[in-house]
Structure 1
C-alpha cells in the first residue's frame, strides 16, 4: 500500500514540472489562475502538515516537492505579470 502512495505522490508531483518549464520558456503565466494556485498552495501546505503530524513519509515527500513547484509557479506568476 505504501508503494501506491509513493507512485501517486510521484505522478501528482511531476505533473507540475511541464507547467514550470512552459512558464519559464515563454516568460508568461497569464493563463495560470492566481486564485486557483493560491487555494491549491494552501491545500498543499495543509497536506504537508497532515503528513508531518501523521508521520506519513510519502505524503510529506510529495507535498514538500509539490509545494516547492507551486511556489515557483506563483513566483513566475508575479514576476512575469504585465503591469499597465
Structure 2
C-alpha cells in the first residue's frame, strides 16, 4: 500500500481550510484586509502546483489545486474589482 492516501488527506485539509475565507469574501465583498500581491503570487503558485500535479499524474495534487485555484482566482478578481 502506498502513502497516496496521505496526499488525499493533505489535499482535502488544505483546500477545505481555504473555503471559509472564500465564502466570507464572497458574502461581504470586503477585501480590505487582503493583500493584492499575496493573492497574485499565491494564485500563480497554485497554478504551478496544478501543472506539476498534471505532470506527475497525481490526482490529490490535481484536484485540490484545481479547486483552490478557482477559489483564489475568485478572491483575486474581487480584490481587483472592489479594492
Q: Give 1:76 deviation, angstroms.
A: 1.4
Q: Give 1:23 deviation, angstroms.
A: 1.1
- Give the TM-score of the pair, scaled to structure 2: 0.90
Please show how residues 1-84 of structure 1 align to structure 2 within 5 Å.
Answer: 1-81=3-83
Aligned to 1:16, the other structure's residue is in SS state: helix
Larger relative helix fraction: 2
Q: Does the 8 A contact of 2:26 with 2:75 survive in 1?
A: no
Deviations 1:31-77 (A, max 9, x none): 01111111111111111111101111111111111101101111111
Find runs of 4+ consecutive structure 1 residues off by over 2 angstroms: none
- Give the TM-score of the pair, scaled to structure 1: 0.89
Structure 2: segments with no counterpart, 5+ residues: none
The aligned length equals 81
